[in-house]
Amino acid sequence: MKRILIYSNGDTFGDALLKLPAIGGLRQALPDARLIWLAGRGPTLYASTFAYSANRWLDEVIDRAGIGERWSELLGARPLDGHEFDIVIDTQQYLRTTLILRRVRHRVFVSAAAGFRLSDRRPPEGRCPWHVQDRLLQLFSLAAGREVLPASRIPIPEDARGLAMRLLPPGPAYVGLAPGAGGREKIWPLEGFLEVGRRLLASDRVPVFFLGPDEHALLSAIRESLPQARFPEWEVGKAQRGPYLVMALAARLQAAVANDSGTGHMLAAGGAPLVSLFGPSNPDKFAPRARRSRILRAADFGSSRMDAIPTDAVFEALESLCEPDSRCASS
């Protein structure tokens, strides 16, 4: 059995979701290998929030390993001394960390650091893609010796799927709206989301709002403006909320609109066709990977400010993601 060590500096929310389909693809390409994920410099959500999915594809997750942080690690005992791996995959590009990681006993070392100069296997083009998921797929393909494609579905607990079905039962056409984000500069005005909601109701569709703890204060204002809107996360207890419920709910949606946010990544991971709204951040590297998507950038409308994105453009993009001839109608 091949032992493969996959090194990451750490895996935060959106990052972890983007990487999961690539990990699933590697598992499909190498079903009999022992896959070990090691977070060397920081925490990985594969040991906590996304452990359910990670454990379906990874044999072991090592959290906060403290490997790859100090120049002194280039001297003395080898990292993970006493262990040897058939392949070590270095998913980051800090040169110091790569030099330290090369000291782990291995047969094959794969890394994009320094333009693949320290890697035993290199892509013909000699450079790595820009997007996080594509970059990981390239490294995994080099390690596997054949093309690795992303898994089509992320494992989601059945209890989350069942709860999502009860919260958004068959019948109506549901469209998701996620007005929050981690920074104010990433947030499209709430009035834009409300106007999209009004247009959805006018065409017999149900707006479904996704509000995290930081957006809970918006709940009463949205309810007052759109009494028919749904807020499924706030219809259950705190213990039932979380990323897996959002992903399960996403599978119930005809489409969704989200800012550059963790919620956007969850909706995409759950399978919702997604309109992603970007202001100053770069979608080329971190855009959610939805099965169908449209990206609207403020820059396309002459500004880095989110309020430059017109409501008409958002609604037209949303309509374009609906199934042909259905206009997001219930199936």
Given a cut of 80, whether residue 330 has pLDDT beyond it is no
pLDDT class of 126 with cuts at 50, 70, 90: confident
| Structure tokens, 9 | 């500096």
Distance CA 98, CA 41 (A): 12
> 89, 44, 319: which is closest to 199 by C-alpha?
319
Distance CA 147, CA 141 (A): 5
Given a cut of 80, whether residue 310 has pLDDT beyond it is yes
| pLDDT tens-digit readout, 194-228 | 999 999 999 999 999 999 888 888 999 999 999 99
More confident residue, 285 or 43: 43
Coil, helix or strand at residue 4: strand
Given a cut of 60, whether residue 326 has pLDDT beyond it is no
Q: What is the DSSP string of 174-213?
A: EEEEE---SSGGGPPPHHHHHHHHHHHHHTT-EEEE---G
pLDDT class of 281 with cuts at 50, 70, 90: confident
User: What domains lie within the chain, and their CATH numbers?
Assistant: 3-144 (3.40.50.2000), 158-320 (3.40.50.2000)
Average pLDDT rounded to a whole number, residues 143-172: 95
Q: Are 196 and 257 in contact (CB under 8 A)?
A: yes
Given a cut of 50, whether residue 329 has pLDDT beyond it is no
> 137, 234, 171, 196: which is closest to 316 by C-alpha?
196
Q: Are 304 and 282 in contact (CB under 8 A)?
A: no
Distance CA 108, CA 83 (A): 14
pLDDT class of 327 with cuts at 50, 70, 90: very low
Average pLDDT rounded to a whole number, residues 5-22: 94
Distance CA 223, CA 331 (A): 27
**Which pLDDT score, from 0 to 100, does residue 216 have?**
84
| pLDDT tens-digit readout, 94-125 | 999 999 999 999 999 999 999 999 999 999 88
Distance CA 249, CA 30 (A): 31
| pLDDT tens-digit readout, 229-245 | 999 999 999 889 999 99
| Structure tokens, 41 | 């410099």
**Which pLDDT score, from 0 to 100, does residue 323 have?**
63
| pLDDT tens-digit readout, 33-67 | 999 999 999 899 999 999 999 999 999 999 999 99
Burial 115-136 (b: 16+ CB within 10 A, else e): ebebbbeeeeeeebbebbbebb
Instruction: Tell me the whole-structure pTM to 2 decimals.
Output: 0.90
Given a cut of 70, whether residue 318 has pLDDT beyond it is yes
Q: What is the DSSP string of 122-178?
A: --TT-S--SSHHHHHHHHHHHHHTS-----S-----HHHHHHHHHHS-SSSPEEEEE
Average the pLDDT over each of 3-7, 288-292, 294-298 and give the range with the smallest value: 288-292
CA distances 25 to 123, 176, 209, 309, Å, are 18, 28, 32, 35
More confident residue, 128 or 157: 157
**Which pLDDT score, from 0 to 100, does residue 331 have?**
38
Given a cut of 50, whether residue 311 has pLDDT beyond it is yes
**Which pLDDT score, from 0 to 100, does residue 215 have?**
85
Mean pLDDT of the chain: 93
| Structure tokens, 136 | 């990981």
Instruction: Name residue 36's beta-bridge partners.
Output: 5, 60
Q: What percent of the chain has pLDDT over 70?
A: 97
**Which pLDDT score, from 0 to 100, does residue 7 have?**
98
